[in-house]
Chains A and B, each alone.
Chain A
Amino acid sequence: MTTFLQIITNGLMLGGLFAIVAIGLTLIFGIVKVVNFAHGEFLMVGMFLTWMITTRMGLHPFASVILVVPAMFVLGALTQRLLIQPLMGAEDDHVQIFATVGLSTALMNLALLTYGADIANTPTFGLRAPIELGPVRILTGQLYIFLAAIALVIALQLFLKNSQTGRAIRAVAQHRVAAELMGVNVPRIYILSFGLGAACVGLAAVLIAPLYPTSSNIGTYFVLTAFVVVVLGGLGSIPGAFFGAMVIGIVDSAAGYYIGSGLREAVVFGLFLVILILRPSGLFGKRMTLSHLS
């Protein structure tokens, strides 16, 4: 019984990790309708920034949030303004895919040039220490990630639901042309949304950096699961991504224990394909899009 509880708890913690990486991706997709293939590299950039700030300034990694999140917002906003927006008039949507794939490769190579193939270890400040919650043990840092993921989902929902700008973002996601007729500056909303999505992954980077060694290809490691989570949750749905991440986290954790850790990924992606075939609109269908994004 304790083992089972531990597996579920590990799954939930893993889910929190997947969720916090995926939220920014689904946000950008739901509003700008662009799949950001550079999302993993955004995470990598955020983790390097966290590592730099933490080591150079001797701060707690979490303190770097006040620099990393705004920096990532700017990176996202610039990506939209300088890369995606000029391509939005293009006849062929695929051009945008190539653009974000290109950006992904460019960022990865930039990191290789700057930091080499070395691994950057962010000081842990006790975040890798286990804590006991009743019969189960988890890493302190994992618990923070899980709680932050929940807080981020709630904060984004409140923002999108209750603020004038949040409403305008949803309006653009639902009917771009009509939003324009209400006086919404649509290109500006896209820039803001891309920035927000990147800021979310910046937050993820700050929380993840003390737990995982940072390298130029760390983004690839996380982003594949993030794509799975986003599709399972229903493209563009923030709560969907959260619950999708929990499902994948638990499956991953259970498969690792009962089937063997070598086969975890095979099980996760196998399940993903089965769900995709049975329910192409995601696990929760359209009704789960509480954010009313699309």
Chain B
Amino acid sequence: MLTLKNIDAGYGPTTILQDVSLDVKAGEIVTIVGANGAGKTTTLRTIVGQILPRRGKITFQGEDITRLHAHDVVDRGIILVPEGRQLFPDMTVRENLQMGTYRKSARSDQESRLEEVLTLFPRVRERLDQNAASLSGGEQQMVAIARGMMAKPTLLMFDEPSLGLAPIIVSQVFDVVRQIAATGTTVLIVEQNVFTTLKVADRGYVLENGSIVLADTAPALLKNDHIRRAYLGI
């Protein structure tokens, strides 16, 4: 469904990603793990069109999307739940969710999707008419995920959804990821929480210094010695 082939990308004169190739198949949960600064966020921003790669090719559902602007990539159904939530601070939670339905193919059946999303996040329902800026960090993360779901994504990408959340909330977030995938949405997830993510994922890539150093099924990665030493602390 999504393929990156030999991608080089970076900021200004610095190259961060080097020769990154990966693919995500329809219906899968795929994860990219890696240390701070490895280039995980850069990878997701390149996919979504916020960074133009210097080399390589990105295809989505058979179409070359390498040089598309972000809003056109989003129109194709690739939605990113960004690192740090990035809510619209002076809008209510309801308006934030409505922004999720901005892309054309998400405009129909908004009401029923809102109902589904609020069933997953009862706390968000209680906060609908509050300004997003007034929510707690955990609540904001739920709204960010809910907003992404409102966009009716074909591929939903998460950038560290559990960052800064209490353990109980983290397990809720992963439950939601599992439920989203169960409804047929393809998921690409970047996480520090390597163990929990690999438990949920089908396959994973390990990114170090901007390059993919390892790719395997999630169960195999959980048993891999390098992973266990470097990321699981075992």
Contacts and interface: CB of A to CB of B under 8 A. Distances in A.
A9 B90 CA distance: 35
B222 interface: no
Given A174-B89, A181-B70, A167 B151 contact: no
Given A184-B71, A186-B71, A179 B90 contact: no
A185 B48 CA distance: 14
B169 interface: no
Interface string A165-184: 00110110011011111111
Contacts of A184: 71, 102
Given A180-B50, A180-B71, A174 B90 contact: yes
B197 to A, nearest CB: 22
B71 A292 contact: no
Interface residues of B, number: 25
Contact of B70 (A164, A168, A180, A293): A180
Interface residues of A, number: 21
B99 A177 contact: no
Interface string B38-70: 000000000010100000000000000000011
A281 interface: no
B74 interface: yes
Contacts of A170: 88, 90-91
A292 to B, nearest CB: 4
Contacts of A185: 69, 71
A179 B50 contact: no
The 8 closest A-B pairs by CB, nearest first: A183-B103, A183-B74, A292-B90, A178-B86, A180-B70, A174-B88, A182-B102, A185-B71
Given A171-B99, A294-B90, 6 more contacts: A171-B88, A177-B50, A180-B71, A183-B75, A289-B90, A293-B90
Interface of A: 164, 167-168, 170-171, 174-175, 177-186, 289, 292-294
Interface of B: 48, 50, 69-71, 74-75, 79-80, 82, 86-91, 95, 98-100, 102-104, 147, 151
17 contacts: A167-B91, A171-B91, A174-B91, A175-B86, A175-B88, A175-B89, A177-B50, A178-B86, A178-B88, A180-B50, A181-B50, A181-B82, A183-B74, A183-B102, A183-B151, A185-B69, A292-B90
